[in-house]
């Protein structure tokens, strides 16, 4: 079974500018793009094109499956919900490292 990469419009749905995201099932944010419509979003994130696939292949060299999530609200796609929870679990370590770098870089 291939690893899944969840793709969805994260903000701006129905507007002139939509942010489309790609999140690996392990919680890693792989790509995002600002698109002018949902159809272009699907193209720009690689659902209907080869765009971004070099990023996906680098993360999952043994293969992957892109999953378009039409309704990304919590509870509507269990796989996306799980990937998002893993993503959020990674944040404290990343936020702590950024804080340490900022404080080490300041000379008071």
16-36: pLDDT as tens digits: 889 999 999 999 999 999 999
| pLDDT given at position 104 | 62
Beta bridge partners of residue 18, listed in sequence order? 35
Q: How far is CA 39 from CA 17, 29, 34, 99, in A?
A: 12, 21, 12, 39
Number of domains in the chain: 1
> Who wins on pLDDT, 43 or 104?
43
60-102: pLDDT as tens digits: 999 999 999 999 999 999 999 999 999 999 987 656 665 666 6
| pLDDT given at position 108 | 43
What is the span of the domain harbouring residue 10?
Answer: 3-105
């Amino acid at each position: 079974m291939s690893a899944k990469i969840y793709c969805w419009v994260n903000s701006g749905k129905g507007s002139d500018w939509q942010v489309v995201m790609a999140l690996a099932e392990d919680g890693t944010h792989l790509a995002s793009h600002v698109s002018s419509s949902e159809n272009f979003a699907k193209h720009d994130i690689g659902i209907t094109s080869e765009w971004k696939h070099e990023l996906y292949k680098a993360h999952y060299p043994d293969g992957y499956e892109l999953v378009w999530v039409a309704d990304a609200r919590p509870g509507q796609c269990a796989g996306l919900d799980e990937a998002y929870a893993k993503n959020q679990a990674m944040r404290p370590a990343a936020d702590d490292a950024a804080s340490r770098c900022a404080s080490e870089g300041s000379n008071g």
